[in-house]
Structure 1
Amino acid sequence: MEEFRPVPDALAYLLGSWRVTRSVQDRAGGGEGRFDGTTVFGPLDAGGLPDAGGLLHEEAGTFVWLGVPRPAERTLRFLPGPTPGTADVRFADGRPFHDLDLTTGRHVVGHPCSADLYRGEFTVRDPDHWRTVWQVAGPAKDLLLTTDYARLR
């Protein structure tokens, strides 16, 4: 059985810069890809005003799919959640994505997206390492995305 590290405050834990490695497996079509880059969780600035302790998640790097590299980036907003220490994760445009509660060191979420269902598992290994595993299932999708984060000092 795996051991997870409880995190009393998800936003405080995530704050900073992380090295990111992500494997992508298309279990339906057999394709494989990899993303290598960095993620920075920095204070969220809403028009010059801090957004009540939220974080802006900015990820950038190179995604290689079937041997073809291309630049890739994404932005998310991590806002304080409804209970202390949790987070409300939103897309860059403010649409809801999922909740995040790392108080046990492990959290499972679901996110419906059109005809697809995203099931995510977040696990904290130690103060400087955490992982997400997303399984995506739908009429035309069967993906497994595994992302490892290592804190940059």
Structure 2
Amino acid sequence: MNQTVTDSWGDASEVMKRLTGSWSFNRLIEWQGSMQGVATFTPLDAGSLAYREQGRLRLLNGTELEAGRDYVFRTRVRGFDVFFRETPPRLFHAIELVASDGGDLTGSAGHRCNLDHYQSTYTFRGEGGFVIRHAVSGPRKDYTMVTTYARMV
């Protein structure tokens, strides 16, 4: 039996609760490489999750590195805010989720980093996984990065 968004993610107000736990991920970085690893969402308080990813980055030139990143996700009325994990926290973007015609929950936001611009889209799929896409453009950066997450059992 196929799960629907209601079965897997609920509405936008439930997404943060359902993110808690561990996820395997596969990332493709256009013209640069790929990364595989594990991302973990751990509760910080009633409305926040710590995001931590660890994995193996493989560049197109053959270089392989251990890599990771950290964020803080905070609940908002119809989605969440994502902050860089630094002191004080700095907002990366605010995501407001809406149901799409295909039954997924999606949300997008932009972020300027100096002269470069990040356009990010989050898609929470009906089958229970999710995808984060960052399209980065500007004088110093020009690539698209797509990360697909699957719940670890």
Q: TM-score, normalised by structure 2?
A: 0.83
What is the number of residues matched between the two proteins?
137
CA offset digits 1:25-81 (Å, max 9, x no partner): 1xxxxx33001000000111xxxxxx3331000000011112211000001001122
Contact 1:34 1:64 in 2 (8 A): yes
1:65 corresponds to 2:70: no
Instruction: Identify which of structures 1 and 2 has the higher relative contact order when contacts are C-alpha pairs closer than 8 Å and 6+ apart.
Output: 1
Residue in 2 that maps onto 1:19: 24
Contact persistence 1:99–1:109 (CA under 8 A): yes
Using the aligned pairs only, state the percent identity.
32
Counterpart residue type for residue 145 of structure 2: L
Q: Is 1:110 paired with 2:110?
A: yes
Q: Structure 1 residues 123-132 or 59-68, which shifts more?
A: 123-132
1:112-143 superposed Cα distances (whole Å, 9 cap, x missing partner): 11000000111111252111111000013210
What residue is the counterpart of 2:36 in the other structure? 36
Give the number of the structure whose residues are more often helix, by fraction: 2
SS class of match (1:37):
strand
**How many angstroms apart in 2 are the aligned matches of 1:73 and 1:126?**
27
Contact 1:17–1:38 (8 Å) recurs in 2: yes
2: distance between equivalents of 1:107 and 1:43?
Answer: 22
Deviating above 4 A after TM superposition, structure 1's stretches of 4 or more consecutive aligned residues are none
| Matching residue of 2:102 | none
On the 8 A contact 1:10/1:101 being kept in 2, the answer is no
1:36-115 aligned at under 5 Å gives the runs 36-44=36-44, 51-66=45-60, 67-81=62-76, 83=77, 85-93=78-86, 94-104=89-99, 105-115=105-115
Q: Give the superposition deviation at 1:100.
A: 2.2
Larger proportion of strand: 1
RMSD: 1.7
* Structure 1 residue ranges without an equivalent (≥5): 26-30, 45-50
SS in 2 for 1:10: helix
Contact 1:10–1:102 at 8 Å: present in 2 too?
no
